[in-house]
Amino acid sequence: MESGMIISNVGLVGDYFKVTFYAPEICATARPGHFVHMKIARADDLILRRPFSICNISPSSGELEVIYKVVGAGTRVLSTLREGEVCDLLGPLGKPFGRPAPDEFPVAIAGGYGSAALYMLTREAKCGGAALLGARTREDILLADAYRTAGFEVAVATDDGSEGHMGLVTDLVDDVLLRHHDKKLRFYACGPTPMLMAVCRLMLDRGYPDAEVSLDHLMCCGVGACFACVVKIKADNPDGYYYARTCSEGPVFKVKDVYLEK
């Protein structure tokens, strides 16, 4: 547990914000896919913490970045916090993404601000990578330039066609398979649950059962005690699944382990 002092908290576009904390202990061990569980300062009526994916870290300066969208009471208060205010942070929590091997070409498949949860992969990629960014409309495409600067090629899909391909982000996968057929591809995904279920089916179909998805659900304790944030994971029992805790057994799971509803 660490007291995260806010260094900056700025609006990006629309309802999206980026908050930067001074949190050197968490930065020292954070990896792609990890999250912090935040007690939002000044939100005294809200008794629970909120989980946020870590978007980026600077271990040398102790700075930790989180990108968030204002969606409810907690994020609304968070968006009003100023430099110098302190939020209690638990982290880094969860099982992170597997590290890409030096000869692997990571492909990040993001829906909406899932692109923030995948961005740290650019730090661990040795020979570039690709980011497939999908969203409702062009305003919701986050970090495209940051991915490019980090050496990733970027392809975009929007529901309304306002930028890139008009359609689903999963539509972009086959083009990557075609153009990078000579590389050892490794897939990672984060986004809304229906999109991730589509990613699971597609990856299994294309022969990538070890592709990883970051699943989440309404979270409560963040440390595996309460069993609120569960998702269905395959199991050797008559029902074929059990409820796994995304906070401690996840949030990252292999697509071959995710139980897909019929």
Partner 1 sequence: MADLATDLGRIKLKNPVMTASGTFGYGAEYHKFYDIAELGAVVVKGIAPFPSHGNPTPRVAETACGMLNAIGLQGPGIDRFLHDEHYLPFLRTTGATVIVNIWGRTIGDYAEVARRLEADKEGIAALEINISCPNVKAGGIAFGTDKNLAAEVVSAVREATTLPLITKLSPNVSRIGEFAAAVEAAGSDMISLINTLTGMAIDIEKMRFKLANRTGGLSGPAVKPVAVRMVYEAAQAVKVPVIGMGGIATGADAVEFLLAGARAVAVGTATFGDPYAPLKVIRGINDYLDRHGIGAVSEIIGKVK
Helix (H, G, I), strand (E, B) or coil at 141: coil
Among 225, 240, 256, 260, binds partner 1 (CB under 8 A): 225
Among 127, 227, 240, 256, binds partner 1 (CB under 8 A): 227
Token duo for residue 221: 């304790």
Q: Which helix (H) or strand (E) holds 195?
A: helix 193-206
Residues between 20 and 39 with contacts to partner 1, criterion CB under 8 A: 39
Among 217, 234, 254, 257, binds partner 1 (CB under 8 A): 217
What is the dihedral angle through the alpha carbons of 14, 20, 21, 24, rounded to the nearest 10 degrees? Answer: 140
Instruction: Give the nearest distance from C-beta 225 to partner 1 in angstroms.
Output: 3
Token duo for residue 243: 């409820």
Residue 132 or 233 having the CB closest to partner 1: 233
Q: For residue 140, what is the DSSP state? A: G
Residue 162 or 248 having the CB closest to partner 1: 248
Question: With binding defined as CB under 8 A, does residue 220 bind partner 1?
Answer: yes
d(CA 124, CA 87) in angstroms, rounded, equals 28
d(CA 220, CA 37) in angstroms, rounded, equals 9
Question: With binding defined as CB under 8 A, does residue 70 bind partner 1?
Answer: no
Question: With binding defined as CB under 8 A, does residue 117 bind partner 1?
Answer: no
Residues present in the chain in total: 262
Among 26, 230, 233, 252, binds partner 1 (CB under 8 A): 230
Residue that is written with structure tokens 């269905």 in the block: 232
Residues that bind partner 1 (CB under 8 A): 1, 39, 45-49, 88, 90, 217-218, 220-228, 230-231, 237, 239, 242-243, 248
